[in-house]
C-alpha cells in the first residue's frame, strides 16, 4: 500500500488529522528532503523511518521501493510542500505500483496553485496548470502557444526568476493581460499582488523576493 500524503505549503496547522494517522501507521516514509519532513513529523510527534525520494534518485530507486511494497510494506510519500506529483516526484512510483497491482491512495490536502487561483479574481471554471516553465529550450515556443490559450493560466516560479518570467510573459502576452502573483501562501507574510502583467512586473522589479511563487494569468480575451 502506497499513500500519497500532501504536506502543508506553509502553515503547519494545515496538516489533516487523517494525514497524521496515516503517517503513524506506515512502515516507511519517503521524503523529498528528510530534514524538511523531519520538522513536520516532530511537530506532530510522528516517529517513523525516513528515506530520501526526490528527482535526483527516483529513477534509481522506484522499482526497488515497489518491490518492497509488493512484499507487504506500507509507505507514505511526502514532498517538502503540497501534494506529491504536482511539480514534485511521485509519477514514476505511482505508475510502477499500478502496473504491479499495488494499491495507491492519495489523500486530499494542500496544493499551492488552488488558493492562488481562487484568490486571483480571475475566471476559475476553466484553467490550465503549466507548473514551471522550461528554463531555456522550448521556453519561447511554449509561451507562443500559450498566448492563444483562452483558459486561465497557472505557473510556478522561484523567487530568483520571478521578474524575468514576468518580463517574458509581458513580451509574449502583452502588458495589459490581467494577472496575480501569490507568494508565501498560508504564512505570516503572505502576499497577493494583482493587476496587469506590466503593473505586477513593475511592482517586483528591483525588489528582493522571497518564498514560493504562483503566477496566475488571464486567458486570451478573458
Q: What is the pLDDT of residue 105?
A: 98
Which three-class secondary structure state does DSSP give residue 95?
A: helix
Report whether CATH 3.40.50.150 matches the domain 113-217: no
Q: Can you tell me the mean pLDDT for 166-182?
A: 97
The pLDDT tens digits of the residues spanning 146-159 come to: 999 999 999 999 99
Through-space distance between the first and last CA atoms of the chain, rounded to whole angstroms: 43
Point out which residues pair with 131 in neighbouring strands: 155
The share of the chain scoring above pLDDT 90, in percent, equals: 98
The share of the chain scoring above pLDDT 70, in percent, equals: 100
The pLDDT tens digits of the residues spanning 94-135 come to: 999 999 999 999 999 999 999 999 999 999 999 999 999 999
Q: Strand 28-31's sheet: what is its strand order?
A: 50-52, 28-31, 75-78, 2-4, 104-106
The whole-angstrom distance between residue 172's C-alpha and the CA centroid of its chain comes to: 24
Class of domain 2-106 (CATH, top level): alpha beta
- As a whole number of angstroms, the distance between CA 214 and CA 26 comes to 32
Q: Can you tell me the mean pLDDT for 11-36?
A: 97
CB 110 within 8 A of CB 81: yes
State the chain's mean pLDDT as an integer: 96
- As a whole number of angstroms, the distance between CA 39 and CA 44 comes to 9
pLDDT at 222 over 90: no
Query: Is residue 73 very low, low, confident or very high in pLDDT (cuts 50, 70, 90)?
Result: very high
The full set of domain ranges for the chain reads: 2-106, 113-217
Amino acid at each position: 500500500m502506497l499513500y500519497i500524503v500532501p504536506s502543508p505549503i506553509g502553515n503547519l496547522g494545515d496538516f489533516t488529522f487523517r494525514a497524521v494517522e496515516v503517517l503513524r501507521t506506515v512502515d516507511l516514509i519517503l521524503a523529498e528532503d528528510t530534514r524538511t519532513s523531519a520538522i513536520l513529523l516532530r511537530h506532530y510527534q510522528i516517529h517513523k523511518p525516513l528515506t530520501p525520494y526526490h528527482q535526483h534518485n527516483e529513477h534509481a530507486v522506484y522499482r526497488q521501493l515497489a518491490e518492497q511494497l509488493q512484499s507487504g510494506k506500507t509507505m507514505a510519500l511526502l514532498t517538502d510542500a503540497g501534494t506529491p506529483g504536482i511539480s514534485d516526484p511521485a509519477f514514476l512510483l505511482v505508475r510502477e505500483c499500478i502496473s504491479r497491482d499495488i494499491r495507491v491512495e492519495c489523500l486530499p490536502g494542500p496544493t499551492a496553485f488552488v488558493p492562488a487561483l481562487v484568490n486571483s479574481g480571475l475566471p476559475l471554471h476553466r484553467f490550465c496548470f503549466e507548473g514551471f516553465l522550461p528554463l531555456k529550450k522550448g521556453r519561447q515556443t511554449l509561451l507562443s502557444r500559450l498566448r492563444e490559450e483562452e483558459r486561465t493560466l497557472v505557473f510556478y516560479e522561484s523567487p530568483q526568476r520571478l521578474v524575468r518570467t514576468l518580463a517574458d510573459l509581458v513580451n509574449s502576452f502583452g502588458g495589459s493581460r490581467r494577472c496575480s502573483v501569490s507568494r508565501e501562501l498560508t504564512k505570516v507574510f503572505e502576499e497577493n499582488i494583482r493587476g496587469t502583467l506590466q503593473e505586477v512586473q513593475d511592482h517586483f522589479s528591483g525588489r528582493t523576493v522571497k518564498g514560493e511563487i504562483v503566477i496566475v494569468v488571464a486567458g486570451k480575451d478573458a
